[in-house]
């Protein structure tokens, strides 16, 4: 097993928690084994083929002046929510013991799935993302929401890997304009100055939803494939459910904030 960035020896739950608390992210190297990734990669491609065949392929664009400035207004990215609704293998992946052990080190023993999302960044002009926070999309009352990016393919900087500003989660809820872009803040944290987190298949990048993150274009001739898993602690809940996919699936432990009404609502 390759040791994570910043760790000279095998990490412990305590060291993972401390690194995440200081930096707002953590890279778990080789968390999923090659045999697992072979199956998950197969089902990832099958999901994309199914979306293509049914005419439901959702190739998204991100708007905004800053996105336009970095040349991202005409590039695309393929995505769909909730891979566990397509594939048993992906359902098992988000319940994997090694994956949840790292998540527990960060969130605690009670882990609730908010949603998953497949991202396939196309070759040569795959869409970049300007630096941003995620909190404004689905704010939670206690701000425990984190993301875990499972890498299905390699992700080099040339392929548009994730970039972060270590420690930026301590900024808290930065003011946003247009729902996405905290413009004044972004001027202080340009994409070029962020730390590139290159990864291999099976690596997982965990980050807090306050952590400033983004990515460059995929300028390579290889597809960049990832699945994002958004989770929060069991003692937390969404501030204002707004129709965003919200699985409310307990991955480990207990959801102490659920009730009969909320359990009956699929989204939000």
pLDDT digits (tens, 9 = 90+) for 244-259: 899 999 999 999 999 9
Q: Assess if residue 3 is contained within a domain.
A: no
pLDDT tens for each residue of 101-121: 999 999 999 999 999 999 998
Tokens of 73: 């207004």
Domain boundaries, position 200 = 20-263
Torsion of CA 70, 74, 75, 77, to 10 degrees: 120
pLDDT tens for each residue of 186-213: 789 999 999 999 999 999 999 999 999 9
Q: Assess if residue 14 is contained within a domain.
A: no
> CA–CA separation, 158 vs 222, rounded Å?
10
Closest to 151 in 3D by CA, of 45, 251, 32, 1:
32
Q: Assess if residue 268 is contained within a domain.
A: no
> CA–CA separation, 255 vs 29, rounded Å?
29
Q: Assess if residue 220 is contained within a domain.
A: yes
Tokens of 209: 């939803």
Q: Assess if residue 5 is contained within a domain.
A: no
Q: Assess if residue 2 is contained within a domain.
A: no
Q: Assess if residue 37 is contained within a domain.
A: yes
Where would I find the beta strands (DSSP E) of the chain?
25-28, 58-60, 77-81, 111-121, 129-132, 146-151, 162-164, 195-196, 204-208, 213-215, 224-233, 249-252
Which band of pLDDT confidence, cut at 50, 70 and 90, is reported for residue 217?
confident
The pLDDT value recorded for residue 4 is 66
Which band of pLDDT confidence, cut at 50, 70 and 90, is reported for residue 64?
low
Which band of pLDDT confidence, cut at 50, 70 and 90, is reported for residue 74?
low
**Domain count across the chain:** 1
Q: Assess if residue 181 is contained within a domain.
A: yes
**H helical segments located in 9-157:** 13-23, 34-53, 65-69, 88-93, 97-107
Q: What is the pTM of this model?
A: 0.91
In three-state secondary structure terms, 156 is: coil
Q: What is the mean pLDDT of residues 142-153?
A: 98
pLDDT tens for each residue of 12-51: 999 999 999 999 999 999 999 999 999 999 999 999 999 8
The pLDDT value recorded for residue 144 is 98
Kindly report the CATH number assigned to the domain that includes residue 197.
Answer: 2.60.120.620
Q: What is the mean pLDDT of residues 163-185?
A: 82
The pLDDT value recorded for residue 77 is 74
User: Contact 147/206 with Cβ under 8 angstroms?
Assistant: yes
Cβ count within 10 A of residue 61: 12
The pLDDT value recorded for residue 72 is 45
């Amino acid at each position: 097993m390759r040791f994570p960035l910043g760790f000279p020896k095998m990490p412990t739950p305590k060291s993972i928690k401390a690194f995440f608390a200081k930096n707002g992210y953590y890279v778990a190297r080789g968390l999923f084994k090659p045999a697992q990734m072979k199956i998950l990669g197969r089902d990832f491609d099958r999901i994309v083929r199914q979306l293509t065949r049914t005419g439901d392929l959702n190739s998204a664009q991100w708007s905004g002046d800053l996105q336009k400035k970095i040349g991202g207004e005409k590039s695309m990215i393929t995505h769909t929510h909730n891979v566990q609704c397509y594939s048993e293998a992906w359902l098992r992946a988000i319940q994997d013991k090694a994956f949840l052990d790292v998540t527990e080190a960060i969130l605690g023993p009670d882990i609730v799935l908010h949603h998953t999302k497949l991202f396939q960044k196309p070759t040569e002009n795959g869409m970049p993302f300007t630096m941003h926070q995620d909190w404004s999309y689905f704010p939670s009352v206690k701000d425990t929401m984190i993301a875990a990016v499972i890498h299905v393919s390699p992700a080099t900087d040339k392929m548009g890997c994730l970039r972060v500003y270590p420690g930026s989660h301590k900024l808290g809820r930065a003011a946003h304009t247009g729902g996405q872009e905290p413009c004044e803040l972004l001027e202080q944290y340009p994409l070029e100055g962020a730390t590139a987190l290159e990864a291999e298949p099976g690596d997982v990048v965990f980050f807090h939803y306050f952590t400033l993150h983004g990515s460059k274009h995929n300028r390579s001739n290889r597809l960049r494939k990832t699945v994002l898993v958004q989770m929060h602690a069991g003692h937390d809940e969404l501030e204002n459910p707004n129709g965003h996919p919200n699985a409310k699936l307990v991955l480990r432990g207990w959801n102490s904030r659920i009730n009969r009404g909320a359990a009956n609502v699929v989204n939000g």
